[in-house]
Each structure stands twice: as structure tokens, then as C-alpha cells.
Amino acid sequence: MTRPVGTATRGTTNPNRLRRMDRWIAAVHGPALRRSERPLAVDLGYGAAPWTTLELLRRLRTADPRCEVIGIEIDPARVTAAEPYVREGLSFRHGGFEIPVQPAVSLIRAANVLRQYDEGAVDAVWARLRSRLAPGGLLVEGTCDEVGRRHVWVAIGPEGPRTVTFAARLGSLDRPSDLAERLPKALIHRNVPGEPVHAFLRDFDRAWATAAPYAALSARQRWIRAVRDLGADWPLRDDHRRWRQGEVTVEWSALAPRSV
């Protein structure tokens, strides 16, 4: 039996922690799920309790009622603890980055998994996970705070990274650069002068400051105005329908780390 690839996370999880990521996946990746012959998703490294895996199934089924979800954990005790939650379309399996699932999958969600790894390990992990995607599949890898108010994730197709999404509960946000502490491992150490992600957050803060008069209407209106202004200089991939959710998505190529 092949040993699972990777190391166990701390296992910290809370109900609804990943709601922002899940909503985005269901909205943006929903059409691809519906085109799939078998929309099969993997929740990789779900933690000490399977709450977020159950939630992923429920939210994906708003996009396609056929969706199935398999929770994968490298800690076998966590898999055993999740067994009482098995139901139609939901199961749990011992494994790691090798994704011990057949056939190839439509979606891999890896939230708060790579945080503990070195930056240099990210490309190899992404490549391994991408290789387990079906045509049209998607890997979503990112980080959020303990209660899911601030979240940043990268969307990665079989060909490589596509976009970066920033999402927040706007009432708790002082300025957009507060999201910097939740950048995924591929970007968090690049938030320094001279790197694109640093310039993006700098410009976002400036647009947020300029949009301050809209705060009298609501934090949402201020966010929408700031994002609209930001789009004059940065290649955004979404529109006001996602901005209203406290999100903004930018092309990966605009934020990708510079070569060292």
C-alpha cells in the first residue's frame, strides 16, 4: 500500500469557514460541473471534523444535484471519526496529495493545507494535484481565517494557475490590504516592494481610500466602487455580480511572483 503524500495539518476547522470559497466555486465552476459526465469533487485535508466537507456537498448540489464529494485526510483517525457522516454522494478516504480516487476528478478544494509547507514545495504540489484533474477540472487552493471572514484563493486548471480571488466580510475590513495575511503560500512571502501582489494591494488600498465617500451608502458600495476603479489598471475577471459578494478576481499572470 502506497504511503499518502504530505503531512497532517493542525486540523482546525469551523462550520461555515469556507462558505465564501464554496459560493464562488458553485457560481463560477457550476457550468463545468454540469457538463461533466460524473461531477466528482475532492475536499483535500478537511481537518479534525468533516463540517466543511458536508457543506461543500450541499453547496455544489445547488449547481448540479449529481455532485459527489470525497473527503480525503492523511490522518487515518480523522477518516474514522468522519464515518458516521457518510451518506449518498459523500464518503471519506485516507490519502494525501496523490488523491487516491478513480476516475480523475472535476474539482479539488485544498483550503488551509499548504500554509504549513515551504514556498518551494508549492509548484510540485500544484503539479501533482493538477494531474488528477479531469479535462475541464479545477483545483482551488487558498487560505482563510478561522471564521471565514477573509479568504484568498488561486484557481488552477489542468494547464496551470488561472486567477486569484480575494474575498471578505466587508463590514470587518479596514482596508483591502488586510487580506494580505491570508494570501496563499505561493504569494504570501511575495508581498514585498517589487512584487506584483504588493503593487496590487497597494493600488487596491488607494482605490479604497478614494472610494471613502461611498461608505456612507454601505461598505459594499465602497468595495464595488474601489474594485471598479482598480479595474482600470489590473486585469479583473469578474463583474459587479461577484463584487457584491465582497469578492474580486484578478488574472494570475498579473500577480505571479517574479523570478528570483
* Grid coordinates of 44: 483535500
Tell me if 134 sits within 8 A of 105, measured CB to CB: yes
Distance between CA atoms of residues 188 and 178, nearest Å: 12
Strand order of the β-sheet with 133-144 is 90-94, 68-73, 40-44, 105-111, 133-144, 150-157, 160-168, 247-251
Q: In 3-state terms, what secondary structure has residue 156?
A: strand
Q: In 3-state terms, what secondary structure has residue 236?
A: strand
Q: What b/e string do you get for 177-188 counting C-beta neighbours within 10 Å, with b at 16 or more?
A: bebbebbbbbbb
Tens place of pLDDT per residue across the chain (260 aa): 578 999 888 878 889 999 999 999 999 999 999 999 999 999 999 999 999 999 999 999 999 999 999 999 999 999 999 999 999 999 999 999 999 999 999 999 999 999 989 999 999 999 999 999 999 999 999 999 999 999 999 999 999 999 999 999 999 999 999 999 999 999 999 999 999 999 999 999 999 999 999 999 999 999 999 999 999 999 999 999 999 999 999 999 999 999 75
CA atoms in the 13 A half-sphere facing the CB of 54: 13
Which pTM was predicted? 0.96
Which 8-state DSSP code applies to residue 38? S
DSSP per-residue codes, 130-153: HTTEEEEEEEEEEEE-TTSSEEEE
Domains of the chain: 19-168 (3.40.50.150), 173-246 (no CATH)
